[in-house]
Amino acid sequence: MDVIDFAAFLLLAATVTLISYGFDRFFAQVLPFRTLYFGIRIPGIILHELAHAVGCIITGAKIKKIILISKEGGSVTYEEPKIPLLGTVIINTAPLLLLPLFLVLLTWAFQTVIGGPATLSLPPPEGNPAFSVIVENVFSLFYNNLILTFNLWFLAYIFFCVSIVLSLAPSPHDLKNAAAGIALITITCLLIIVSGYAPAIDLLARILALVAYAFTIGLVFEMIVAVFSLPFLLIYGIRRRG
């Protein structure tokens, strides 16, 4: 791993976060009723807050209060984690790491248990698949379940995908809480890389590869939501022109 590889990792994390923000704002604008927008978001909001709770458990932070659903969304109130700075980062960025893994579980459940969407080929943990391969897999998913054979379960699957992707990114408040820790971790990673100490660099590369895989999975599901959003984008564009 070198500085360029680390910069690519940071770019991937930023891209997944910004796309999630973008979809959230997009659906907030294109859906005709605020209640409909909030209804779509409910599963994602619940999982988002539960991911924060898992982060608290992992870092030893005592949970004081959990609000899964409210008019403002949800929240988790907790005491200081036992792991300073890093613990705050883990808690506040937990949805970005855990929700993509839940989407993998959701895909497995629909494909294996329910017999739903056929079939989504997720990238393997080892190696980075070509962007064109990911796009082809996503479009094949829609073709197989809407055109080749209409699959009613696919609509339920897409609903959960959309809801979770809208809640994938840490909120601005989450990022503010984690800012100092993120800065410290970034500086530490750069110091390890420029140190040239092979064992530390190898360990860092392994850790970042695991995190990057979660980000890559998130990006795949964001592509699924992007394809689903195309008709809404077309309608929104026509409506604005009118």
| Residue 64 maps to a domain | no
Which amino acid makes up residue 45? Answer: I
Any domain includes 84:
no
| Domain assignment of residue 68, yes or no | no
Mean pLDDT of 29-54: 91
Q: Does some domain include residue 182? A: yes
User: Which pairs from 147-153 meet CB under 8 Å and 24+ separation?
Assistant: 151/116, 151/117, 151/118, 153/110, 153/114, 153/115, 153/116, 153/117
Q: Which residues pair with 75 in a beta bridge?
A: 67
Report the chain's C-alpha Rg in angstroms.
19
pTM listed for this prediction? 0.91
Note whether residue 117 is domain-resident: yes
Within-domain flag for 166? yes
Cα separation, 40 vs 35, in Å, equals 9
pLDDT at 128: 66
Render pLDDT for 78-122 as a digit per residue (tens, 0 to 9): 999 998 889 999 999 999 999 999 999 999 998 888 877 767 877
Rounded to whole angstroms, how far apart are CA atoms 230 and 23? 12
The alpha carbon of 139 is separated from its chain's Cα centroid by a whole number of angstroms, namely: 20
Per-residue pLDDT tens digits for 145-203: 999 889 899 999 999 999 999 999 999 999 999 999 999 999 999 999 999 999 999 99
Q: 127 falls in which pLDDT band (50, 70, 90)?
A: low
Cα–Cα distance between 63 and 20 in angstroms, integer? 26
Q: If you count them, how many residues does the chain have?
A: 242
Q: Is residue 41 part of a domain?
A: no
Domain of residue 188: give its range: 3-31+93-241
> Mean pLDDT throughout 222-235?
88
CB 217 within 8 A of CB 120: no
Q: Is residue 14 part of a domain?
A: yes
Dihedral sign for Cα 212, 216, 221, 225, please.
positive
Q: How many structural domains are present in the chain? A: 1
